[in-house]
């Protein structure tokens, strides 16, 4: 059912190291899709590095990122949903979770900087989930790395095959444009911030003398040599290798100059997957099943203490979501209906009546949802693949106002349900360990606990290297958990985790208990 709706949809995320050009590219997509009319309309949602402890700034930024969490636009009969990911690395886990809700990604690389740290980590998540990736090498108007070296670097550092779809003719101030390898045309560079189509010159292959009238002799000869080499090495793009996340098609362009956007978008809507089936605890769910199902991948709180409402972002996985229809909240085993579900259109959000697989619906929430919650039309299953990752920094939550312990309890529970940080509880002494990817979250937590829940706390650093989920034989696990009792805590799903103090201690544990596997994410294949 709903095949024609499903066939129209493409749901993806643009990922990049901060400053590579994600915001600019998003904006150009919306411009090409006719969703916005002027450049500069999409607010940059990155949290300024210089103001990491400025709470007003954080609030402002978080406010903006709600508006730009999902942007939908139409392009050539397709209905494209872009899911935004926060740029600040302290919110990396937010990004990882958003990646569970997309079917493919576009990765933006700065041609001057090449593969940066954040890019590598994001790609690890894509690889883990076999998410198809298209790469856009941006800022070709700047003097960047040699394109052959870049391709090599992409393959080596991102651990994925690459396949150039276009090829740059010089770079920096000599940038002339790109040669489109798949349809043998020249796309000539012209700096323009507002145009919504490329100037493509169709030529008949590289021997076409037109090239010599358009390019000077040196550039024409270099292009011919380069392309000969590329053809020899890369051949045809295999769409199945792309869909299986083995090969990433690569484009070169300049988002700021609206250059190379059209060929990227055209290829994207042609090759990128439509909404894909998803695994659950019970069976695989096909998007075209008649009955609705979906999961919550992000929760956004309103930071205004007078309006303590939240928006839960739900990805529709099958069937049709309808306004005012009863659905089952599987974890709570209760029926819920939604009078004002939102859809997000570029800059605004509107109440919607129905949504289809691939769409993201914003649900007004008063505290019913946790990240990873599943809604269905009656069946009981939970979507898999929304793992928790081991945090990088661990601190113990210390209550400093005993009169407010209830508020603190509730606050930390709700804020970690939102996904702001991970909470690990230890029965022994009722200790609470909070883990995050960056320091910033502790400041946000402390601020919000005080301002929204009236609870005062302190975070004390704890020397913990990694939180490890464990798999193995029951008897071994029991034995290990008894042996390391003081380092065992429980995650939000009540799964035991080993809080290993150092990499060395983790290695020792692995050696002593060879039948136990220690995992740094909560979902793993056994």
Kindly compute the dihedral angle of the four CA atoms of residues 496, 501, 504, 506, in this order, to the nearest 10 degrees: 0
Q: Which sign, positive or negative, has the C-alpha torsion 458, 487, 370, 83? A: positive
Residue 198 is a binding residue for ligand G4P (CB under 6 A)? no
Q: In this complex, which beta carbon is closest to ligand G4P, that of residue 19 or of residue 476?
A: 19
Q: Which of 256, 264, 467, 497 binds ligand G4P (CB under 6 A)?
A: 256
Angle at 265 between CA 261 and CA 270, to 5 degrees: 155
Cβ within 8 Å of residue 392, ≥6 positions away: 435, 436, 437, 438
Q: Which of 9, 11, 13, 20 binds ligand G4P (CB under 6 A)?
A: 20
Q: In this complex, which beta carbon is closest to ligand G4P, that of residue 88 or of residue 432?
A: 88
**Secondary-structure percent of the chain, ordered helix, strand, coil, rounded to 5:** 30, 30, 40
Q: In this complex, which beta carbon is closest to ligand G4P, that of residue 44 or of residue 262?
A: 44
Q: Which of 60, 142, 222, 224 binds ligand G4P (CB under 6 A)?
A: 142
Residue 255 is a binding residue for ligand G4P (CB under 6 A)? yes
Q: Which of 90, 94, 141, 418 binds ligand G4P (CB under 6 A)?
A: 141
User: How far is the CA of 195 from the CAs of 33, 77, 251, 310, 451, in angstroms?
Assistant: 12, 20, 18, 38, 46
Q: In this complex, which beta carbon is closest to ligand G4P, that of residue 100 or of residue 254?
A: 254
Q: What's the CA gap between 232 and 334, in Å, rounded? A: 60
Q: In this complex, which beta carbon is closest to ligand G4P, that of residue 16 or of residue 107?
A: 16
Containing H/E element for 148? helix 147-158
Cβ within 8 Å of residue 259, ≥6 positions away: 140, 141, 177, 187, 189, 190, 191, 192, 198, 253
Residue 19 is a binding residue for ligand G4P (CB under 6 A)? yes
Least distance in Å: CB of 19 to ligand G4P?
4
* Region from 93-101, 252-260, 354-362, 518-526 binding ligand G4P, contact rule CB under 6 A: 252-260
Cβ within 8 Å of residue 25, ≥6 positions away: 14, 106, 108, 136, 138, 255, 261
Least distance in Å: CB of 14 to ligand G4P?
8
Q: Tokens standing for 456?
A: 């005062």
Residue 254 is a binding residue for ligand G4P (CB under 6 A)? yes
Q: Which of 24, 187, 280, 441 binds ligand G4P (CB under 6 A)?
A: 24
383 conformational bin, left if phi > 0, alpha if psi -120 to 50, beta if neither:
beta
Site string for ligand G4P, 66-105 (x = CB under 6 A): ---------------------x------------------
Residue 16 is a binding residue for ligand G4P (CB under 6 A)? yes
Residue 116: CB atoms within 10 A of its CB come to: 17
Q: In this complex, which beta carbon is closest to ligand G4P, that of residue 70 or of residue 386?
A: 70
Q: In this complex, which beta carbon is closest to ligand G4P, that of residue 259 or of residue 442?
A: 259
The footprint of ligand G4P (CB under 6 A) covers 16, 18-24, 44, 46, 87, 138-139, 141-142, 254-257
């Amino acid at each position: 059912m709903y095949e024609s709706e499903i066939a129209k949809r493409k749901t993806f995320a643009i990922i990049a190291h901060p400053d590579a050009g994600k915001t600019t590219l998003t904006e150009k997509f919306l411009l090409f899709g006719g969703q916005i009319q002027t450049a500069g309309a999409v607010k940059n949602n990155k949290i300024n590095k210089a103001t990491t402890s400025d709470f007003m700034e954080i609030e402002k930024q978080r406010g903006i990122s709600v508006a730009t969490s999902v942007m939908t636009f139409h392009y050539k009969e397709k209905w494209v949903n872009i899911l935004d990911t926060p740029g600040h690395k302290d919110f990396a886990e937010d990004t990882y979770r958003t990646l569970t809700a997309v079917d493919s990604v576009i990765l933006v690389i700065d041609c001057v900087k090449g593969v940066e740290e954040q890019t590598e980590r994001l790609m690890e998540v894509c690889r883990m989930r076999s998410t198809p990736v298209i790469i856009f090498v941006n800022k070709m108007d700047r003097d960047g790395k040699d394109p052959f070296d870049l391709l090599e670097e992409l393959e080596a550092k991102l651990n994925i095959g690459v396949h150039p779809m276009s090829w740059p003719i010089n770079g920096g101030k000599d940038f002339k444009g790109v040669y489109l390898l798949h349809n043998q045309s020249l796309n000539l560079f012209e700096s323009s911030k507002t145009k919504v189509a490329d100037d493509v010159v169709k030529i008949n292959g590289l021997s076409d003398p037109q090239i010599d009238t358009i390019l000077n002799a040196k550039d024409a000869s270099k292009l011919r040599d380069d392309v000969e080499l590329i053809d020899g090495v890369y051949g045809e793009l295999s769409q199945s290798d792309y869909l299986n996340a083995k090969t990433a098609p690569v484009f070169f362009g300049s988002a700021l100059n609206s250059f190379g956007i059209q060929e990227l978008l055209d290829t994207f809507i042609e090759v990128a997957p439509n909404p894909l089936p998803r695994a659950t605890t019970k069976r695989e769910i096909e998007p075209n099943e008649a009955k609705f199902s979906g999961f919550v991948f992000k929760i956004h709180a309103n930071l205004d203490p007078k309006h303590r409402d939240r928006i839960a972002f739900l990805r529709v996985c099958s069937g049709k979501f309808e306004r005012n229809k009863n659905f089952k909240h599987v974890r709570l085993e209760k029926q819920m209906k939604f009078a004002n579900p939102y859809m997000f259109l570029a800059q605004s959000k509107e109440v919607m009546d129905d949504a289809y697989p691939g769409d993201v619906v914003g649900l007004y929430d008063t505290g019913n949802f946790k990240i990873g919650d599943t809604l269905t039309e009656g069946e009981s299953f939970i979507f898999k693949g929304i793992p928790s990752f081991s945090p990088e920094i661990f601190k113990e939550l210390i209550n400093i106002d005993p009169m407010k312990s209830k508020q603190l309890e509730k606050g930390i529970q709700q804020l970690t349900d939102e996904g702001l940080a991970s909470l690990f509880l230890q029965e022994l002494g009722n200790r609470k360990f909070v883990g995050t990817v960056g320091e910033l979250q502790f400041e946000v937590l402390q601020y919000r606990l005080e301002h929204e829940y009236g609870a005062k706390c302190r975070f004390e650093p704890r020397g913990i290297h990694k939180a490890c989920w464990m798999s193995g034989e029951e008897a071994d696990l029991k034995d290990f958990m008894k042996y390391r009792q003081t380092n065992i805590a429980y995650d939000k799903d009540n799964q035991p985790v080993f809080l290993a103090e150092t990499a060395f201690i983790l290695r020792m544990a692995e050696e002593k208990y060879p039948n136990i596997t220690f995992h740094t994410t909560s979902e793993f294949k056994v």
